[in-house]
Amino acid sequence: MWPAGLQNPAAVASHPCTAKPVAAGAIRVPLSTTMFSEKEFIQAIETNQNIIHKVCNMYLDKAQEREDLFQEILLNAWKGIRNFKGDAKFSTWLYRVALNTAITIYRKEKRSINTTSFEDQLNGLADNEYRPDDQFNALYKAIAELSKIDKALVMLYLEDYDYQEIGDIIGITPNNVAVKMNRIKVKLKENSKKYL
């Protein structure tokens, strides 16, 4: 609680009216939930939507399924925004919501490792400047074989979160994150050999 006459500096700095321009992903949102209108929410999501896309791409192959997951994440974020306290970066909070949704969403059939879909994805994203090499291809396929939990760890690791932050998001200790990450790296190295 801030004393009378004083305002929480984070709230002042983050208010759409007073906030300075920030890099994508680093946007801060108002601390008071009553200040968070639908417009502000949409604005924050628009700036950070790459997070949701990345999570969708990490977990699902098919365009329609990714579309469904995108909406589900968005709906969960919208429901939860009332309770967002602003004590963390909006991007971190959004990662939390997105990963929770992706991990707990129920799909009857298990994800198949679909080579065509993977190649389509690579071709679609890299028409001009990128040609998928075998190693990248193999690693990507190996990632697709990981469990949902391991994918979440890889996702956060790629985003350069430290082990403490990853542990907070996943709900395990930093030591545990370190152990798991080492195992995942070994597993990826081994599994990607199959595709080379």
Partner 1 sequence: MDLDNLKEELKTKLEATAQPRSPAQLEQLISGRSRSVIDKLKRSILFELLFTLLVILAIIIFIIASNRYRFTGWSLGIIAGSLVFGIYVWRLQQRINYYEINAVSVKEKLQQIIHILQRYTRLYFQLTMLLLPIAFIMGYLFAINEKKQADATSNFSVYGTMFYIAWAIVWSILMYFFTKWYIKKLYGNYLQQLKDQLKELQNG
Residues that bind partner 1 in the complex, under the rule CB under 8 A:
38, 41-43, 45-46, 49-50, 53-54, 57-58, 68, 70-72, 74-76, 78-80, 82-84, 93, 96-97, 99-101, 103-106, 108, 121-122, 124-126, 130, 135-136, 139-140, 143, 147-149, 152, 154, 157-159, 168-172, 176, 179-180, 184-185, 188-189, 192
Residue 101 and residue 76 in contact, taking contact as beta carbons nearer than 8 Å:
yes
Least Å from the CB of residue 13 to partner 1: 22
Residue 69 and residue 102 in contact, taking contact as beta carbons nearer than 8 Å:
yes
Separation between Cα atoms, residue 57 and residue 135, nearest integer Å:
19
Q: 8 vs 43, which CB is nearer to partner 1?
A: 43
Least Å from the CB of residue 185 to partner 1: 5
Longest dimension (CA), the chain: 65
Which residue is listed with tokens 């080579």?
Answer: 115
Separation between Cα atoms, residue 106 and residue 110, nearest integer Å:
10
Least Å from the CB of residue 30 to partner 1: 16
